[in-house]
């Protein structure tokens, strides 16, 4: 890896400044091998598609989902001070933020050779020197060890309506391109938010059926049962938080594209249900996530991909109490953010990680009671949003400068784009 990491192209990328990448960020869609058949931008590339090399792929995927160190934690919560705030579910930090350190997402990607998952969600921190090239080498090497191939060949989602938006049929997920797909476990995120609520003196209220959660009064000894947030509000907040997580993952990738001189853009113009595997058409299997349908729901509900990314809800757990225990194991078990033996960035990591309260049996019962009510009432968990969710994708490809030279004034792409093929290939 060392010989590759010190290649001319990567040395160039390491020298690109943040301001240059920010101001130079653009959606650059036209790639080598592309064609726009008509209209004011009608153009056919004179090149064949050129797939990204292994190092190029790993750098882009690392930017979107790599583990970059230890999570710094939230230091204090007024309601339970002086105990350490114990919201987080992951000990490692990644290239993008996550609400309260929940980090429920995993990074999938596809190219001409296959479909892959990067599982860095609960990965330990990457230890490396402070020098940029050494740190990037460590991140990329670590990432490579956590990539798993799921399918041969490119992800099967047709370049046609209704699976792909009309303005993306000519460009998205075509030969030679890399498509990065961050996916959130929204079921787990909502479960963590119910924990967060209880930690802050709140319980759910079923605003759709206009009633309190039946039996919630039995927990009046640990929470004010009339201090409530509506189910629909919690679902909407959770959906928004995971959307930010997925979007910032892709945005980190777009900055890497500028530094590397790759074309591409972040977008949501592929149907998320078809992409996950819930198209209903066996010829469009997507990622193959399991899903259910119900007359009460406006759309299919993907719940997980067995052995790869299983949502924290039935059928992947027998009931919501089991899912609550899995959340607590992730938080407080070995490798978790609040396990005393998990390393960290502090001078005395054991003391820091031991300062958080472990969720009591009574706490777990209250969370599970509310979650099970949702599942039994609405037939799924969460109530009004998908269990598994994706929204934003990043495509990376080799830019065709001929198109931009034909239609744009000078400055349509950066020097890194102009030099990319010479420096990387």
Q: Does residue 5 have a pLDDT over 90?
A: no
66-98 residues labelled b (16+ CB within 10 A) or e (exposed):
bbbbbbebeeebeeeeeebbbbbbbbbbbbbeb
Q: Can you give the pLDDT at residue 127? A: 67
pLDDT at residue 132, as a whole number: 61
Contact between 126 and 138 under an 8 Å Cβ cutoff? The reply is yes
276 pLDDT exceeds 50?
yes
Q: Which CATH number belongs to the domain containing residue 76 in this structure?
A: 3.40.109.10
List, for residues 335-393, the tens digit of each pLDDT value.
Answer: 999 999 999 999 999 999 999 999 999 999 999 999 999 999 999 999 999 999 999 99
Does the pLDDT at position 6 exceed 90? no
Q: What is the mean pLDDT of residues 179-199?
A: 98
pLDDT above 90 as % of the chain: 87
Residue in this structure with the two tokens 């890399």, named with its chain if needed: 178
State the average pLDDT over residues 261-283: 96
Residue percentage of the chain with pLDDT more than 70: 97
pLDDT at 142: 81
Question: Average pLDDT for residues 170-190, to the nearest whole number?
Answer: 98
Average pLDDT over every residue of 190-201: 97
Report the alpha-carbon distance of residue 322 to residue 310 in Å, rounded: 13
* Model pLDDT, residue 131: 61
pLDDT of res. 77:
83
Question: Average pLDDT, whole number, for the chain?
Answer: 94
pLDDT at 263: 98
pLDDT at residue 130 in the model:
62
Counted domains in the chain = 1
Predicted confidence (pLDDT) at residue 128 exceeds the cutoff of 70: no
- Which pLDDT tens digit goes with each residue over 166-177? 999 999 999 999
Instruction: Copy the structure tokens of residue 73.
Output: 């934690």
- pLDDT attached to residue 68: 85
Instruction: Quote the pLDDT of residue 4.
Output: 46
**Lookup result for tokens 């058409």:** 281
Q: Which domain holds residue 299?
A: 2-424
In the prediction, which pLDDT does 124 show?
Answer: 86
pLDDT of residue 106: 97
Q: Across residues 282-294, what is the average pLDDT?
A: 96
Specify the pLDDT at position 129: 60
Least confident of 9-13, 232-236, 293-297: 9-13
Residue 60: per-residue pLDDT:
96
Instruction: Report the pLDDT averaged over residues 261-274.
Output: 97
pLDDT at position 80 is 81
d(CA 288, CA 308): 11
DSSP string, 326-393: HHHHHHHSTTSTT-TTS--SSTTHHHHHTTBPPPPHHHHHHHHHHHHHHHHHHSSSSSSS-SEE---E
> 20-43: per-residue pLDDT in tens?
999 999 999 999 999 999 999 999
pTM for the complete prediction?
A: 0.95
Does the pLDDT at position 406 exceed 60? yes
What's the rounded mean pLDDT across residues 175-188?
A: 98
Q: Which of 318, 314, 300 is nearest to 380 (CA)?
A: 314
């Amino acid at each position: 890896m060392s010989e590759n990491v010190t290649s001319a192209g990567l040395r160039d990328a390491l020298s690109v400044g943040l301001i240059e990448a920010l101001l130079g960020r653009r959606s650059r869609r036209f790639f080598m091998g592309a064609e726009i058949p008509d209209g004011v931008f009608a153009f056919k590339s004179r090149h064949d598609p050129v797939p990204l090399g292994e190092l190029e792929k790993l750098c882009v995927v690392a930017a979107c989902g790599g583990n970059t160190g230890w999570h710094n934690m939230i230091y204090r919560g007024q309601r339970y001070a002086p105990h350490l705030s114990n919201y987080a579910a992951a000990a490692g930090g990644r290239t993008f933020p996550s609400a309260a350190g929940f980090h429920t997402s995993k990074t999938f990607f596809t190219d001409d050779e296959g479909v892959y998952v990067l599982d860095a969600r609960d990965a330990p921190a990457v230890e490396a020197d402070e020098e940029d090239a050494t740190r990037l080498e460590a991140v990329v090497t670590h990432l490579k060890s956590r990539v798993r191939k799921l399918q041969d060949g490119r992800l099967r989602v047709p370049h046609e309506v209704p699976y792909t938006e009309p303005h993306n049929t000519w460009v998205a997920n075509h030969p030679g391109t890399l498509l990065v797909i961050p996916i959130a476990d929204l079921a787990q995120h909502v479960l963590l938010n119910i924990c967060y609520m209880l930690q802050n003196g709140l319980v759910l209220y079923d605003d759709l059926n206009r009633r309190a959660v039946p039996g919630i009064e039995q927990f009046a000894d640990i929470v004010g049962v009339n201090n409530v947030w509506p189910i629909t509000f919690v679902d909407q907040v959770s959906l928004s938080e995971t959307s930010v997580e997925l979007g910032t993952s892709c945005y980190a990738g777009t900055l890497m594209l500028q530094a590397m001189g790759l074309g591409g853009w972040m977008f949501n113009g592929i149907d998320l249900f078809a992409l996950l595997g819930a198209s209903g058409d066996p010829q469009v299997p997507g990622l193959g996530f399991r899903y259910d349908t119900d007359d009460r729901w406006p759309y299919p509900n993907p719940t997980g991909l067995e052995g790869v990314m299983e949502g924290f809800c039935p059928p992947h757990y027998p009931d919501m109490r089991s899912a609550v225990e899995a959340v607590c194991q992730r938080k407080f078990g070995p490798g978790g953010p609040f396990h005393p033996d998990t390393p960290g960035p502090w001078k005395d990591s054991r003391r820091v990680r031991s300062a958080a309260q472990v969720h009591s049996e009574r706490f777990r019962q209250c969370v599970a009671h509310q979650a099970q009510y949702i599942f039994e009432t609405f037939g799924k968990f969460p109530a009004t949003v998908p269990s598994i969710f994706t929204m934003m994708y990043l495509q990376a490809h080799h830019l065709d400068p001929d198109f931009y030279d034909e239609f744009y004034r000078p400055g349509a792409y950066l020097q890194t784009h102009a030099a990319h093929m010479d420096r990387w290939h």
